[in-house]
A = this chain, B = another copy of it.
């Protein structure tokens, strides 16, 4: 910066003002131009680290997550990344593998870098143990929550998701709609079932408890659960699966019985794992988890720490319509 100042015969201060675009300070158009030219000629590139040191603003946001390894919800990284970029901030991403020890030392390292806020994001909707240092800076949880619900969080609207999937099937004329839910007790399980029930209730359809089953979130789980449902004396005409993987298994059970999708039986999945949903035959109608939006929302919340709009944000995922209904 000294070189630039010397090159144009002005002070470092003036150069700094011009480079930072401080329009509140009056500087002749001519000086501005000459400075930018010099910057160009000399190939000067401001040292962001030095700027941070002097200005006490690092424009750095930390993201500690267990999702880098998984095909699930890379969207969170993506959404957060984008939002941060738009705000002129950079994300420091550390993959914790879900290990609290790593999470703690990761945060320690990030605090050393003077991040201005941190996001903890998880692959599955679950409880998380936060390192003590988290209380030192603005923290937002994505797809997870702490014991005390003390930290701001961004969560998917499981109820709305359960409702949307069920509603779609009702609209298609189905009345015997089964739900193959995830393992009991999970927030996702509870929420989606509530949505399912409210959609049925709203449509005046009485709930047949035999149509409400649970299974493991795998293709095999879906295969078995769907098989059982189809072998009922009064089988369902539509199946809402807790995950796309389960739907994948359900497809097999259905095809094995010579039934056709969606003519004989409709299927809706959950997760919108494009790789499954988009390539199953027929393609799968499914409820998306709003990963991108959640990541972006988290960054926004950090940016708005001074004027927080809400402490706990619930984001609904859209129903992605394909060919299985």
Interface set of A (CB-CB < 8 Å, partner B):
45-50, 52-53, 58, 67-72, 74-75, 77-78, 81-82, 85, 90-95, 108-109, 111-114, 218-220, 223, 245, 248-249, 252, 255, 273-276, 279-281
Contact call A114/B47, Cβ cutoff below 8 A: yes
Give the distance in Å from the alpha carbon of A276 to the alpha carbon of B71 in the complex. 11
Give the distance in Å from the alpha carbon of A255 to the alpha carbon of B273 in the complex. 23
Measured CB to CB, the closest approach of chain B to A71, in angstroms, equals 4
Contact call B245/A275, Cβ cutoff below 8 A: yes
Instruction: Select from chain B the residue with minimum beta-carbon distance to A75.
Output: B69
The residue from B69, B218, B220 contacting A74, defined by CB atoms under 8 A apart:
B69
The residue from B53, B82, B255, B279 contacting A49, defined by CB atoms under 8 A apart:
B53
Contact call B279/A248, Cβ cutoff below 8 A: yes
The residue from B50, B75, B95, B112 contacting A78, defined by CB atoms under 8 A apart:
B95
Residues on B with beta carbons closer than 8 Å to the beta carbon of A95: 77-78, 81-82
Instruction: Select from chain B the residue with minimum beta-carbon distance to A244.
Output: B275
Q: A218-B279, A220-B279 are in contact. List 12 more A-B contacts (CB 8 A).
A: A49-B49, A49-B52, A50-B53, A67-B74, A71-B72, A71-B74, A71-B273, A77-B93, A77-B95, A85-B94, A220-B281, A248-B279
Residues on B with beta carbons closer than 8 Å to the beta carbon of A52: 49
Contact call B279/A219, Cβ cutoff below 8 A: yes
- A sample of 14 cross-chain residue pairs with beta-carbon separation below 8 angstroms, ordered by A number, consists of A45-B112, A48-B109, A48-B112, A49-B58, A49-B114, A50-B53, A68-B74, A68-B77, A69-B78, A71-B274, A220-B281, A245-B275, A252-B281, A255-B255
Instruction: Select from chain B the residue with minimum beta-carbon distance to A222.
Output: B279
The residue from B47, B71, B81, B92 contacting A71, defined by CB atoms under 8 A apart:
B71
Measured CB to CB, the closest approach of chain B to A319, in angstroms, equals 20
Residues on B with beta carbons closer than 8 Å to the beta carbon of A220: 279, 281
Contact call A113/B49, Cβ cutoff below 8 A: yes
Measured CB to CB, the closest approach of chain B to A193, in angstroms, equals 24
Instruction: Select from chain B the residue with minimum beta-carbon distance to A113.
Output: B48
Instruction: Select from chain B the residue with minimum beta-carbon distance to A109.
Output: B90
The residue from B219, B245, B279 contacting A245, defined by CB atoms under 8 A apart:
B279
Measured CB to CB, the closest approach of chain B to A65, in angstroms, equals 10
Contact call B68/A81, Cβ cutoff below 8 A: yes
Contact call B49/A275, Cβ cutoff below 8 A: no
Give the distance in Å from the alpha carbon of A218 to the alpha carbon of B281 in the complex. 11
Residues on B with beta carbons closer than 8 Å to the beta carbon of A112: 45-48
Contact call A71/B109, Cβ cutoff below 8 A: no
Give the distance in Å from the alpha carbon of A71 to the alpha carbon of B81 in the complex. 16
Give the distance in Å from the alpha carbon of A75 to the alpha carbon of B67 in the complex. 10
Task: Decide: A111 near B45, CB < 8 A? Known: A78-B68, A90-B92, A279-B219.
Answer: yes
Residues on B with beta carbons closer than 8 Å to the beta carbon of A114: 47-49
For the complex of A and B, the 5 pairs showing the least CB-CB separation, nearest first, are: A71-B71, A219-B279, A48-B112, A68-B78, A69-B78
